[in-house]
Structure 1
Amino acid sequence: MKPREANSEEGSLERFAKNLNRSGRSESGLRSTRLSRAGDPAKTVARDWSELEAAPKAAPAKPGRNWLVRIFLWSLTFFLATAAVTVYVLFFSSSLVSSDNIDLSITGPTLLRSGDELTLEISTRNRNKVMLRDVSLAVTYPPGTTDSLASGRELTLWRENLPDLRIGQTATVVSRAIVFGAQNSKQTINVVLEYQIPDSNAVFTKEVSYVVEIGSSPLELSLQVPGQINAGKSFTANLKVVSNAQTLLRQVTVRIEYPEGFLWRSSDPAPIRDDNAWFLGDLSPGSTREINLTGVLSGQSEEFKSFKVSAGLDRAESGRSIDVEYGNLFKTVSLKRDFVSAVIDLGGVTTVAAAGNLSGWINWRNNLSDRVINATLRLYLDGAVIDKRSVKASAGFYDSLTNSIYWDKNLLPELGLLNPEATGRTGFNFSVLPAGSWSDNTSTDIRLRLVLEGVRITAEDAGEEIFTEAEQLVKVGTEVELAAKGEHTVGPFSNTGPLPPEVGEETTYTITWSVANSLNPVNGATVRTVLPPYVKWLSVVSPLDEKVIYHNTDQEVVWALGAVSPATGSGRQVSFQVALVPSLSQVGQAVNLTGPLVFEGVDTVTGQKINLTRPAVTTNLATDPGFSFGQSEVVE
């Protein structure tokens, strides 16, 4: 019977140990011991039981700890899953829809003759995992390209809608255009593919470029000039323009960049602008145009001079610039030294102001190894704007009938004999008439032409005549008039406040500026002033179409005139209103209402900058008919 009781006790102890393990007590260091069947069961049970009683009791587990662990594990799992999705979207989902999975290819010639038709085959293949919808192509051609289907119509942008591209589908379109360009130039065509994907309103793009080289020019240019040109002597050049294009070339203009020291005298046909631009109009295939021009080159002996000729499309037909170049060339010539050189030296001056003064020197040099006798000089003054009464010459005679200054050995003894390498100089000066003293259609160019003549003495020939000629062109600059005035009782605004101005009381004034231009167009014109700290800007301007800007930070007033045309009647005028509150320190004074005026602009004919200044406008309103003497000084 005892073995059965032992078994019963063993089963009870095992169940008790298991219960301890389930409740977490085993974690506190208790050891579950299995009863041994060998030996004395009673002793074994007693020993194990005593060990159980001697072991420290574990604290009971808190019921909420398992829930906190579970919540933490669930949150960590959710965070990791979200991060994984984010990483996938950012770094891996682009492989689903990407421009890299779209093949956009262009097939066409890489070498083209200017003016020929360019045919481009553009293929688009969708390698994405989704369909592409609302697909379109935009092809941007270089400036000057024309439509091959509409002769002469400029084509800079060509668009074509494509069908929706399913997965793996390819669409091909053909674009045709006539491309122009200078020989050996590279023309770039940009192609942009636009598309959308299902369930998205975003527009995606892919862009590629295609480069074609122009192998030949649509215009053949040739300039015939003498290989050697005598400095200071007239020569003739012939420019020939031949169309090599297969289509009509529209609005063709030719421009020549002259070398330094070149003076244009005449041409056939006449230029349309600045003596160096000719509008040839439309040129049909194979047609030819010619330009004959005459000029003078000055410079040193053996010096090289280069002409640059450009021809192309001029949309404005103004000759100012060439929008698309069809061809160009350079031509270089060398100067030959004269037997006796003669130069007009103006000190680098190429422009003179209306009513201004021009002075210069005549320099000569005998370049021969022989003597020259009985030399004479004659300087012709060609220009309707020259004040003939002002012409003066040192040791020379001014002949008003021929409008020239003359020197010979009687007036200038050193001209009687010019030894080899001998040099000399003499001076002259004259004034330019004021701008209002000539009519609007009067030419304002001043041409100076110098002629030197003499006799060369050699052992073989005692009487060889020599001749040297030089020319110089001077342009007359415009004359700008700037005026300013202050008013109170008249003008476009109603003014208030006491006259004379009183300390602490506000008085308003009208400031009026006017600008008149006499001769040449002026660009970039502005008038500026700075208001004193005691004067307030009232933000009213008349007329409203004039642009007046006020900078509050520094109290600067700027009248941005822009382009000012010549001979515009009384000129342009603008008015604005300011307010004055005088201080005790100004009592008894006529105070400034503005600072000094500054005008700036550029003469478009001469290229010269124009700078004018005028004194500040004060409370002395001399031009106001309602103003009385004594109303300018501040009173208490």
Structure 2
Amino acid sequence: MRQGPQINEYSVTPVLGDQLESGATVKRFFFNKYWVFSLVAIVVVAVALWFLLGGNGKDEAKLVLWFDIADQITSGSQSEVTLIYENQGKLALEELELEVIYPEGFQFIDSSHSHEDYSGQRFLLPSLSPGSSGTLTITGIFSASPQESKTIRARLFYQLPRSTAVFSESAEAQLSFKAPNFNLRVLAPNQLIDSQGIEYQIFFKNISDKKLQNLEVRLSFPNGFIYDSSSIPTETKNTWLIEDLEVGQEERLIVRGTLSGEEAENKVLRADLGIVEQENFEVLARASASTRISAAPLEVKQNLKSENPKSVSMGERLSYKISYKNTGSRGLNNIKISVFFEGEGVDFSSVQTSGGALVGNEVLWNPSGRSELTILQPGEEGFVDLNIQVPKSLAEKNLQNPMIKTRIFISSNEFPEPIAGGTLDVKVASKMNVDAGMRIVDGANPPKKEEATIYEVSFDVSSGFNELSNVIWTAVLTSPPGEFDFDSISQELVKDINYNPASGRIVWKIGNLSFFEKKQIKFNVKFFPSVADSNKTIKLVKDIKITAKDEFTEETITSESVNDLITVPVN
């Protein structure tokens, strides 16, 4: 029987069918996995963009800012403008940068925050947490015609946490102006070497239509300014009385001193012109000027060679070491150094120095006396010495709180204006004076063995030219043969006296002594010598000492040794 062709179970058809089924499954698997990874990637990118761009955080951020300014501003007078900004949202505000746009004619002077540019238009401000606020006060001069209106604008940029997006809020204020009654100007050098002399000129003119009386000029000096003198007398060194100022009259006040500070630091002097009514000072005009500090090319310092450089006693010698150095980058010629002495606590006849000369109350050094001062190369330094004595008779001058004050200066041909090296104040300590006495007022005279003699003991304690506090007098009574008579003390001193019979120690708490004040104590001692004391003198009151606090020097002082009180020989 003829058979047809045999078809195997494992023929192509069923095998091909299995292969297609398996391939489709693999293809679907990779297709689905691709979409899963794609979806995850899209979500990740979306989340990242949400964080980077702040998401909807802007809806939760709320920054408000506004100006606080006077209703009317005096044209040409110094004024203050305050900008207030507050975070009223739920998120912190970071990277705050403020931009201020001033109207035409505005002159920037200063601000309560450091500014990033010279014109005071850009400020970097600290971050604001939710609910917190900040202020920025700007000081300057607006110039405008009366009744004119101008606009000041501000824009505050910020970012949200974990965001690079920058947002901003804006504010503006209208400024109204009024005509001034005064023209007030302050002139000061734009730049000054550290610790150099400075001269301020304050001009004020009455441009109103009436005479003005009892005006005051008040100056607020910058830190580092030391007052020296002024063209108009003053008692306070910062306030000047102007009794009358006629219509159109202009006056000038000149104030001189020294100014020190850090390099590149701006020092601002503010001048207020006003009137005092019922003890209140009303500012009518305000102006200011700024001076920038530059590094000194010459440096001079003074030090005392003493264990206690803050105070000195009468008769003591003071040894000064004056050091100098060229801190610049070029050689300087003909160096001059000077030390000015102020106060009456100096005996100029006792001045000792090498190569220096005394001229009045000033000691000078220059190349004629010290050849090393002819030229001073960059970085080169040296020193000179000075020795002077405090008069022993200083107390006789009836001074109060005497002080020895020295000011030092240095200059050169290239920098002829003297550069100050600071001041050094040395207080003169007070000296207590003690007068002691003892006399027989009753009993055997001269003393006899086994008989009583009554001695009256007296002490006078006086202060010098400084006030003293916590003054305490102590002594020891030789007992026996002495016996302290407590009843002999005056009634007003009883509470201040303490006596210990066992040790013989007497304490008198004097308390306070004013300038050149004297206090006295008197008491009796019953002296009953024994046979063994015959032909002897007895130290009846000994170890006498007084201590006190000098209120001027704020140091504890002790009286000089006081002689023991000795009896006459016992018969």
TM-score (norm 2): 0.48
Q: Which protein is bigger by CA-based radius of gyration?
A: 1
TM-score by length of 1: 0.44
More strand by share: 2
